[in-house]
Amino acid sequence: MSSIFALAFIGKDFYRGIVQNRSLSFGKDAAYELLKGSCHNWRKVLLIISVKLLSFFNSLTSETREKVLIIDDSPYDRSRSKKVELLAKVFDHAQKKFIRGFRLLSVCWSDGVSLLPLDFALLSSKDKKNRLQGITKDVDKRSCGYKRRLEAMEKATDLIKPMVSRILSYQIKFDYILMDSWFTWPGVVCALHQYAPVIGMVKKTSKVRYNFGGLNLDVKSIYRRLSKRRGRAKILSHALIGVGDIDAKLVFVRNRHKKDWLVLISTKPELSDEEIVRVYGRRWDIEVFFKMAKQHLKLVKEIQARDFDSLVAHTSIVFMRYQFLAYEQRIRTDSRTFGQLFYCVYDEMADITFLESLQRILTMAIDKLRKAGEFSEKIYRKLIDVVMGQAVKLLGLESNQCQISAATT
């Protein structure tokens, strides 16, 4: 597990770092069996680690600080694949086209300083016509792997409520649930409101209507009936509405990128307009997480597995890497970005590898000299101290000089 976990930080993919690596104490089959196991409950592992980290994070912040749960999805691109289990045509909203791959539905926790991924689902497609591959592996129907496969063929909106309920069963606390417009439908909003107030972006569509002043109107019709703030105000207006049996508030915000407006919904109508906009701004943290997972932590490119269990396992390990970086950043009160922090860990791993290699070479050389009996033990020790001392000084690790020298001796 630790060998696979470290791959992203030593600059190697699964093939070069595991399959071709002869220095490991296990064979490649053991690594493949770990990833392919259909009975490994990776979801539970992620949640257990998250609970441990959250107890630490909460001890650093005030109880009054808002904790939020962020729900979003991102494309998991496997455009070059053909035989991947449950591979499907999914729509990429960024590229505005269909791609081959999956949708990575993720639920993350954030306190505005640190973000932790808690749960995820790799989604294929509910429509059988869009699925390029079906279930190709014979799996026990009682196993986690089989349940994950059934989950992959469901709608994302049907999975959100069970995921939030599962997170709450681990005593993870949050004050708000944040969602993008792809998930902020009235049915989902009402289902999640029982757990925490929901704040989300609303689509400007005529298909969704809200109760406004005794009328069922869409957001465009509601906006036309409101008086707007004059000038260049960022918040244009607001409206109190009903969503099912829930009272809510719509906040209309000026779009910074074009002459248009956006609308947010909050199921806690007593919040001020500014507060709703401020809390919703926390949702951007999950976009940073997706970029970090793909660009630095090798979410897609590290392993080209065809087995669905392997995809779930590898995604879980990538999420653990991000949790590790979040902990490192928080424990050191580090102001660097996650990209900078990743490269610092990468360089540190490379330095350790160099020192370990030098240590092995010196050990073998000293053993040869001892057998020859040409020098005294005092000369051996002095040789080791000089060589390792210069190496440590070169790498800027002077504080570890004594430990490395003693270990080599």
Tell me the backbone φ, ψ of residue 116, rounded to 5 degrees.
-125, 125
Q: Answer whether residue 250 shows pLDDT above 90.
A: yes
Please tell me the distance from the alpha carbon of residue 71 to that of residue 107, in angstroms, as a whole number.
Answer: 5
User: Residues 334-345: pLDDT tens digits?
Assistant: 555 566 667 677
Helices (H), 282-376: 284-295, 308-331, 338-372
Q: Which of 315, 335, 355 is the last residue of a domain?
A: 335
Question: Are the C-beta atoms of residues 87 and 76 closer than 8 Å to each other?
Answer: no
Domain of residue 377, residue span: 343-408
Helices (H), 138-234: 144-152, 156-169, 186-193, 219-224
Please tell me the distance from the alpha carbon of residue 318 to that of residue 313, in angstroms, as a whole number.
Answer: 9
Antiparallel, parallel or unpaired: β 176-179 and 68-77:
parallel
Under the banding of pLDDT at 50, 70 and 90, the label for residue 406 is very low
Please tell me the distance from the alpha carbon of residue 298 to that of residue 310, in angstroms, as a whole number.
Answer: 14
- Position 400 scores a pLDDT of 47
User: Residues 169-226: pLDDT tens digits?
Assistant: 999 999 999 999 999 999 999 999 999 999 999 999 999 999 998 999 999 999 999 9
Longest dimension (CA), the chain: 100
- Position 398 scores a pLDDT of 46
Nearest-Å Rg of the Cα atoms of the chain is 26
User: Residues 67-103: pLDDT tens digits?
Assistant: 999 999 999 999 989 999 999 999 988 888 999 999 9
The angle, 0 to 180 degrees and rounded to 10, between the axes of the packed helices 28-36 and 308-331 is 90
Q: Answer whether residue 407 shows pLDDT above 60.
A: no
Antiparallel, parallel or unpaired: β 176-179 and 198-201:
parallel
93, 160: one domain: yes
- Position 217 scores a pLDDT of 95
Strands (E), 24-85: 68-77
Under the banding of pLDDT at 50, 70 and 90, the label for residue 355 is low
Residue whose entry in the numeric block shows the structure tokens 């009272």: 247
Asked if residue 367 is part of any domain, the answer here is yes
Q: How many structural domains comprise the chain?
A: 2
Please tell me the distance from the alpha carbon of residue 193 to that of residue 189, in angstroms, as a whole number.
Answer: 6
Residues 6+ apart with CB under 8 A from 136: 85
Question: Are the C-beta atoms of residues 265 and 177 closer than 8 Å to each other?
Answer: no
Please tell me the distance from the alpha carbon of residue 199 to that of residue 264, in angstroms, as a whole number.
Answer: 7
284, 375: one domain: no
Asked if residue 226 is part of any domain, the answer here is no
Asked if residue 90 is part of any domain, the answer here is yes
Task: Tell me what percent of the residues of the chain surpass a pLDDT of 70.
Answer: 87
Q: Answer whether residue 278 shows pLDDT above 50.
A: yes
44, 170: one domain: yes
Task: Return the bridge partners of 75, or none.
Answer: 103
Question: Are the C-beta atoms of residues 190 and 247 closer than 8 Å to each other?
Answer: no
- Position 252 scores a pLDDT of 96
Please tell me the distance from the alpha carbon of residue 221 to that of residue 212, in angstroms, as a whole number.
Answer: 10
Structural tokens at position 136: 């190709």
Task: Return the bridge partners of 102, or none.
Answer: 76
Asked if residue 309 is part of any domain, the answer here is yes
Q: Which of 335, 358, 390 is the last residue of a domain?
A: 335
Question: Looking at residues 113-141, what average pLDDT do you find?
Answer: 94
155, 89: one domain: yes
351, 318: one domain: no
397, 300: one domain: no
Q: pTM for the whole thing? A: 0.81
Asked if residue 26 is part of any domain, the answer here is no
The angle, 0 to 180 degrees and rounded to 10, between the axes of the packed helices 401-408 and 377-395 is 140
- Position 399 scores a pLDDT of 44
Task: Return the bridge partners of 250, or none.
Answer: 239, 265
- Position 117 scores a pLDDT of 97
Asked if residue 119 is part of any domain, the answer here is yes
374, 314: one domain: no
User: Residues 283-300: pLDDT tens digits?
Assistant: 999 999 999 999 999 999
Residue whose entry in the numeric block shows the structure tokens 């729509």: 91
Q: Which residue did the predictor score with more confidence, 62 or 356? A: 62
Question: Are the C-beta atoms of residues 223 and 237 closer than 8 Å to each other?
Answer: yes
Under the banding of pLDDT at 50, 70 and 90, the label for residue 62 is confident
Written as one letter, the residue type at 135 is I
Task: Tell me what percent of the residues of the chain surpass a pLDDT of 90.
Answer: 68
Question: Are the C-beta atoms of residues 41 and 312 closer than 8 Å to each other?
Answer: no
Q: What is residue 401's three-state secondary structure? A: helix
Question: Looking at residues 324-329, what average pLDDT do you find?
Answer: 90
Q: Answer whether residue 59 shows pLDDT above 50.
A: yes
Q: Which of 281, 312, 335 is the last residue of a domain?
A: 335
